Chains A and B, each alone.
Chain A
């Protein structure tokens, strides 16, 4: 009987212990989850930012690209065109012009600009073979004319004019020929004749002549037409160049050229001004609450309100800033208005941090100073503040790093701008988080990649700020 009870108790004890261990592992797994999420986030952002180098290298070689769509057989078929002609670039020297269609890069068919960048990023050599179809129709078909067939009344697409140096002439086309089919695609319109080339080019595994069926003097013929031109385009891929270019250029409609210069300047300007406005106010308020205030209802109220203001959503501050500065004071939505509003947001956080720093100074310091006849201000200025300063600065930097990443408040203050200059105090402005927000909203290929690159820049800045805070804490930390 007793052994049975003992056994049961042992089993129970073992089960209780197991439960404890299981619970311990469960709690540990939550830490692992957080860690995994952090790793996933960083890896994803790094991977997304990677194509930026290829993008900028391609653009530098003269290929500023855009993805267009052609309707074909009720399908949307994307293709890549050159949207920006850069004279003297490698691509321009090879003969590529604005609005030419890029059909293959590295001999692989491409239909989106992102695919071009991917091929360029992986191409092992410095020169990439690029094939394109010239948008200049006279090079291929000359001028096309729709004509009604005199006998049947059906629509025919006839070559009206064809220069002798054109690809069409060299392949054997002559003015007066009617184009019937391009690569088995029946041609019924002038634009369609051209679009058939794009569609056909995407279906060919490698550049080879297109079979164009024509009707000349009543008889059908086929002509082999070299539509795609190919050239080796030298592309220099350098991380440093890509990063530098990204950091120093202004926003643009092409993701390959858009950069962060205005946003970085705006962010630093804004955060610097915020520090300038907020530090004296925060220190003053903290000193009052810690060193001067007597414990009464007013002090309690102030503390309560500060704790509450620290938790008010930042959009609310945005509305307040907008109403007071932009509406009542008739300020435009300029950088200084943004900084003043940002001050409101960081102030409660900074007051709380400064109070904590002041609280670490032991009373013995204060008492010693009072004992030799110092007034309260003398105690504060000569003893409390110098000792508490590193702690206060640490709190300041941490609050400012929050301001550095803040977007919602500044959207209300008009930082949602397309800017191509370095903002000043009284000018419109933008900041890095808002630039990221804008780029995320762009539909064009590549903007998501430069948004990721901008995120990395932002995180590096925040890391540096926090590193500085940790450095201050370690270097000046005192144990009392």
Chain B
């Protein structure tokens, strides 16, 4: 008794290491969920679109200009109108979001006083937090009527207003990502430029932007990926009809909207139309996954430059 009190055991209580290992194992399982989800996703899309591609050739899918999977007499599975529609909406959105987002980021990190920053940043955060159905409502019932005063030919559902509002929705994404990279440009670079007599504009244009360009490119790519995957704004405001050739003032359909169309339609569970959402989904998944990978890779490479 006495000896054990004076000489504390260095041995851990029995089971302690087992418990430690068990807990670590559980946490590892949680983390490995990311691998499981990715693998399952890839498997689901491979097997799901496998059914689709036994009936429709890959070439027809990617180059056909008539998307009419619900046409009973003459179904046609050319996804080009959807792909081009997605690219058009994404293009308009980026045209809006990239200049505004980038310039806001420059303002916030280079020009704004602390007081202005405290007001301006929440504005962008609120824009980022607004659900996309709300943007869809805004596009359909506010932006389209507004545009119709300038463009009388515009239809109730059209690509233009959906693209513009989608652009507004991703402004905060562009601005916060670019602000992070602009902020990460070392102070020494700025001060070096000022010491040489450069004005603020020259410093930004010749020093900061070139230094931050890879991060800005990553932001651009993420914004693109987000725009390609955006669903609700387009489903509400761009109409749900595939058109070929595409027209900004007329309705068009994107990849995501086709998926929504099938899900809200009344097709039976086993119908072939459900196979199309796997083919479309696989396309969407591959595009966004590659874009995300690219931006992740750029950001990593960029980060290592200054750390």
Q: Give chain A's interface residues, CB within 8 Å of chain B.
A: 16-17, 19-20, 22-24, 26-28, 30-31, 33-35, 37-38, 40-41, 44-45, 48, 280-285, 287-289, 292-293, 301-302, 304-309, 311-316, 318-320, 322-324, 344, 347-348, 351, 375-377, 401, 404-408, 411-412, 414, 416, 433, 436-437, 440-441, 448, 451-452, 455, 458-459, 462, 466
Cross-chain contact B256 with A315 (CB below 8 angstroms): yes
Cross-chain contact A316 with B281 (CB below 8 angstroms): yes
Please measure, in the bound complex, the distance between the C-alpha atom of A125 and the C-alpha atom of B210, giving whole angstroms.
Answer: 67
Closest chain A residue, CB of each to CB of B34:
A305
Cross-chain contact A408 with B231 (CB below 8 angstroms): yes
Shortest 5 CB-CB contacts between residues of A and residues of B:
A313-B229, A405-B131, A284-B30, A27-B107, A288-B27
Closest chain A residue, CB of each to CB of B226:
A311
- B127, B204, B263, B289 pick with most chain A CB within 10 angstroms: B263
Please measure, in the bound complex, the distance between the C-alpha atom of A79 and the C-alpha atom of B3, giving whole angstroms.
Answer: 101
Please measure, in the bound complex, the distance between the C-alpha atom of A322 and the C-alpha atom of B29, giving whole angstroms.
Answer: 23
Evaluate whether A285 and B107 lie within 8 angstroms (CB atoms) in the complex, with A20-B200, A319-B259 already known.
no
Q: Mark B136-175, 1 if CB is under 8 A from A, else 0.
A: 1110111000000000000000000000000010010000
Please measure, in the bound complex, the distance between the C-alpha atom of A155 and the C-alpha atom of B111, giving whole angstroms.
Answer: 83
Task: Write the nearest CB–CB distance from A234 to chain B, whole angstroms.
Answer: 33
Evaluate whether A284 and B44 lie within 8 angstroms (CB atoms) in the complex, with A23-B201, A311-B222 already known.
no
Query: Which DSSP category, helix, strand, loop or mixed, fits chain A's interface?
Result: helix
In chain B, positions 256-272 with a C-beta closer than 8 Å to chain A are: 256, 259-260, 263-264
Cross-chain contact A37 with B127 (CB below 8 angstroms): yes
Cross-chain contact B44 with A324 (CB below 8 angstroms): yes
> Which of B23, B34, B107, B171 touches A28 (beta carbons < 8 Å)?
B107
Which residues does chain A contribute within 8 Å of B141, judged by CB atoms?
44, 48, 440, 448
Cross-chain contact A305 with B168 (CB below 8 angstroms): no
Which residues does chain A contribute within 8 Å of B27, judged by CB atoms?
284-285, 287-288, 292
Cross-chain contact B288 with A312 (CB below 8 angstroms): yes
Which residues does chain A contribute within 8 Å of B100, judged by CB atoms?
30, 33-34
Size category, B interface: 35 or more
Closest chain B residue, CB of each to CB of A437:
B133
Closest chain B residue, CB of each to CB of A433:
B133
Cross-chain contact A16 with B201 (CB below 8 angstroms): yes
Cross-chain contact A323 with B48 (CB below 8 angstroms): yes
Cross-chain contact A38 with B142 (CB below 8 angstroms): no
Cross-chain contact B104 with A309 (CB below 8 angstroms): no
In chain B, positions 62-117 with a C-beta closer than 8 Å to chain A are: 99-101, 103-104, 106-108, 110-112, 116
Please measure, in the bound complex, the distance between the C-alpha atom of A415 and the C-alpha atom of B88, giving whole angstroms.
Answer: 29
Closest chain B residue, CB of each to CB of A31:
B120
Please measure, in the bound complex, the distance between the C-alpha atom of A306 and the C-alpha atom of B131, giving whole angstroms.
Answer: 23
Task: Write the nearest CB–CB distance from A318 to chain B, whole angstroms.
Answer: 7
Evaluate whether A320 and B40 lie within 8 angstroms (CB atoms) in the complex, with A311-B288, A459-B134 already known.
yes
Say yes or no: is B278 at the interface (Cβ < 8 Å to chain A).
yes
Cross-chain contact B229 with A16 (CB below 8 angstroms): no
Evaluate whether A37 and B201 lie within 8 angstroms (CB atoms) in the complex, with A319-B277, A323-B48, A458-B131 already known.
no
Closest chain A residue, CB of each to CB of B202:
A16
Please measure, in the bound complex, the distance between the C-alpha atom of A427 and the C-alpha atom of B110, giving whole angstroms.
Answer: 53
What 12 new A-B contacts, CB under 8 Å, besides A41-B142, A288-B30, A462-B129?
A: A34-B104, A34-B123, A35-B123, A44-B141, A285-B31, A285-B34, A308-B292, A315-B260, A319-B44, A375-B16, A441-B236, A459-B134
Task: Write the nearest CB–CB distance from B5 to chain A, whole angstroms.
Answer: 17
Say yes or no: is B19 at the interface (Cβ < 8 Å to chain A).
yes
Cross-chain contact A462 with B131 (CB below 8 angstroms): yes
Closest chain A residue, CB of each to CB of B292:
A311
Evaluate whether A305 and B199 lie within 8 angstroms (CB atoms) in the complex, with A407-B131, A408-B260 already known.
no
Say yes or no: is B37 at the interface (Cβ < 8 Å to chain A).
yes
Which residues does chain B contribute within 8 Å of A376, judged by CB atoms?
20, 24
Task: Write the nearest CB–CB distance from A303 to chain B, whole angstroms.
Answer: 8
Say yes or no: is B253 at the interface (Cβ < 8 Å to chain A).
no
